[in-house]
Amino acid sequence: MAEKITSTLRLRMSAKDAHYGGNLVDGAHMVHLFGDVATELLIKCDGDEGLFCAYSDVEFKAPVYAGDYIEAYGEITEIGNSSRKMVFEARKVIKTRPDISDSAADFMEEPVVVATAKGVCVTPKDCQRIKR
């Protein structure tokens, strides 16, 4: 694969994303973000949204809270005839500081990896508008 195909989304976790006590965000929300990243990767690669087939090696590594900013990153690592293998990483780049005040937050000098995964997507041949 000559060119590296990547995607990065950054967004704030809101109160509606909190699923558990203490404003803890459900880990499945990170997987949802990986799906959005995969869609962008497929559009960049093929000009089509394609289909997500499988996740593997999903790991949740650190807690995420409402108010935190998450950067979801993905990269296509291998392009087959119709399959695209990908890796994903979600990083916390801003963390809330409820110990200081309800609206306090810190930009993190060093982002914290909160989740990782691998995935396989497929873009059917007849849907691939960008030929490789």
Q: What is the pLDDT along the chain (132 residues), one digit of tens a residue?
A: 568 999 999 999 998 999 888 899 999 999 999 999 999 999 999 999 999 999 999 999 999 999 999 999 999 999 999 999 999 999 999 999 999 998 999 999 999 999 999 999 999 999 899 876
Residue type, 51: L
Is 26 inside any structural domain? yes
Q: What is the DSSP letter of 80?
A: -
Residues ≥6 apart with Cβ < 8 Å to 111 = 71, 91, 92, 93
Is 53 inside any structural domain? yes
Number of domains in the chain: 1
pLDDT at 1: 56
pLDDT at 19: 86
Residues spanned by the domain of 106: 6-127
The answer, as to whether pTM is greater than 0.95, is: no
What does the block give as tokens for 75?
């990269």
Is 1 inside any structural domain? no
Residues ≥6 apart with Cβ < 8 Å to 98 = 67, 104
pLDDT at 2: 67
CATH at residue 17: 3.10.129.10
Instruction: Give percent helix, percent strand, percent coil of the chain, each to the nearest 5.
Output: 20, 50, 30
Is 132 inside any structural domain? no
Which residue blocks in the chain are alpha helix, DSSP H? 28-46
Is 70 inside any structural domain? yes
